[in-house]
Amino acid sequence: MTHSSYSNERHWDKLECNERLEFLGDAVLELVSSDFLYHKYPDRKEGELTKLRASMVCEPSLAYCAKDLSLEKYLLLGKGEEATGGRNRPSIISDAWRH
């Protein structure tokens, strides 16, 4: 998975990083988690389901899942991002889960 810092350092086209996949991944996560919650809690109101979904797809939850799968090992990061601990930054790791 290519972080934008990696592609920027190599002067690649902006579409060479995974940010477009994050867009798609967010939509897929929302759909899958919505379907799961809708069927698991048939008596809950929309507002309750929305709060549950938000807790499932928030940065800390996604970072935990990504870390559990060791996704940080597969990130291509720029030198600066690597040097400042980007490989373990929850925002970057959670984005890896969305890819």
Question: Alpha carbon of 59 to those of 33, 80, 87, 98, 99: distances in Å?
Answer: 15, 22, 15, 10, 14
Give the pLDDT of residue 20: 81
Low-confidence ranges of the chain (pLDDT < 50): none
pTM of the model: 0.80
Structure tokens at 30: 């929302």
Q: How far apart are CA 20 and CA 99, in angstroms?
A: 9
Give the pLDDT of residue 84: 94
Burial level of 3, CB count in 10 A (0-12/13-18/19+)? Answer: buried
Q: Which amino acid is at 80?
A: G
Please name every residue paired with 2 in a beta bridge, in sequence order, or none if there are none: 76
For the chain, the structural domain boundaries read 4-98
Q: Which CATH number fits domain 4-98: 1.10.1520.10, 3.90.76.10, 3.30.70.560, 3.30.70.1380?
A: 1.10.1520.10
